[in-house]
Structure 1
Amino acid sequence: MKAQLQQYMQENNLTQAQVATAIGKSVAVVNQYLKGTYKGKTEEVDEAVSRLMGRHQERVVERRFNGAFVHTHKAELCLDAVNTAHIEGVIAVVIGAAGLGKTQALRHYVKGNPETLLIEVDPSFNPKVLLKTLCQQLGLSETGENHDLFVRICQRLGAGRLLIVDEAELLSTKCLEYIRRIHDKTGCGLVLAGMPKLIANLRGKHGELAQLYSRSGVFCDLGNGLSLEDVGLLAESGLGTSEFNAVLFKISQGNARRLNYLMRGAIRVAAMYERPIDEQIILAYADALIK
Structure 2
Amino acid sequence: MNERIGTSQIKNASPTWERPFKAPELSANRTKDDVTTWWSLVDRVIEIATVNGFTKSEVARRMQMPEGTFSQWFSGKYAGRLDTTNKQVEQWLLAMEEQAGLAASIPTSPGFIKTRISAEITETLAWAQMTADMVMITLAAGNGKTAACRHYCATRPHAYLATISPHTKTVHGMLVELAAELDVQEHNPAKLTRKIGMKLQRIGSGSLLIIDEAQNLVDDAINQLRHFVDVYQCGVALVGNNEVYTRFTKRSDGPSYDQLKSRLGKRLKRDKPRVEDLQAFIAAWGVADLDCVKLLTGIGMKGGALRQIDKTLKLASMLAMGAQEPLAKQHIEAAWKNRDVEDMA
The CA distance in 2 between the partners of 1:71 and 1:222, in whole Å, is 17
1:20 maps to 2:68 = no
Report the secondary structure of 2:162's partner residue: strand
Report the secondary structure of 1:288's partner residue: helix
- 2:108 corresponds to which of 65, 72, 81: 65
Aligned to 1:183: 229
Deviation per CA, 1:102-139: give whole Å up to 9, x if none: 11111111111242111100001211122222223323
1:139 maps to 2:177 = no
Change (3 A) 1:43 1:281: farther
The CA distance in 1 between the partners of 2:60 and 2:270, in whole Å, is 40
Report the secondary structure of 1:124's partner residue: coil
Kept after mapping to 1: 8 A contact 2:134/2:226? no
- 2:172 corresponds to which of 122, 128, 137: 128
1:227 maps to 2:278 = no
Aligned to 2:253: 206
**More displaced stretch, 83-92 vs 51-60:** 51-60
Kept after mapping to 2: 8 A contact 1:84/1:90? yes
Kept after mapping to 1: 8 A contact 2:41/2:86? no
The equivalences for 1:244-259 within 5 A come to 244-254=292-302, 255-259=305-309
- 2:241 corresponds to which of 175, 195, 202: 195
TM-score by structure 2 length? 0.73
**More displaced stretch, 14-23 vs 250-259:** 14-23
Q: Which amino acid aligns with 2:179?
A: C
Report the secondary structure of 1:71's partner residue: coil
Kept after mapping to 1: 8 A contact 2:163/2:177? no
Aligned to 1:168: 214
The equivalences for 1:231-242 within 5 A come to 231-238=278-285, 240-242=286-288
Change (3 A) 1:271 1:179: same
Structure 1: which 5+ runs fail to align? Answer: none
Q: Which amino acid aligns with 1:150?
A: T
Deviation per CA, 1:213-238: give whole Å up to 9, x if none: 211111100213x2222111111112
The two structures, once aligned, show a CA RMSD in angstroms of: 3.0
Change (3 A) 1:26 1:92: farther
Change (3 A) 1:251 1:50: farther
Aligned to 2:29: none
Kept after mapping to 1: 8 A contact 2:129/2:206? yes
The CA distance in 2 between the partners of 1:256 and 1:143, in whole Å, is 41
Deviation per CA, 1:12-37: give whole Å up to 9, x if none: 82344397399464683665676785
Change (3 A) 1:112 1:9: farther
Q: Which amino acid aligns with 2:296?
A: L
Deviation for aligned residue 1:49: 3.8
Aligned length, in residue pairs: 287
- 2:94 corresponds to which of 50, 56, 67: 50
Structure 2: which 5+ runs fail to align? Answer: 1-36
Aligned to 1:287: 337
Kept after mapping to 2: 8 A contact 1:61/1:267? no
Q: Which amino acid aligns with 2:55?
A: A
The CA distance in 2 between the partners of 1:22 and 1:285, in whole Å, is 35
Kept after mapping to 2: 8 A contact 1:132/1:142? no
TM-score by structure 1 length? 0.86
The equivalences for 1:30-49 within 5 A come to 46-49=90-93
- 1:268 corresponds to which of 318, 336, 339: 318
Change (3 A) 1:127 1:26: farther
The sequence identity of aligned pairs, in percent, is: 21
The CA distance in 2 between the partners of 1:10 and 1:47, in whole Å, is 16
Change (3 A) 1:25 1:102: farther
Kept after mapping to 2: 8 A contact 1:6/1:34? no
Q: Which amino acid aligns with 1:233?
A: A
Q: Which amino acid aligns with 1:20?
A: V
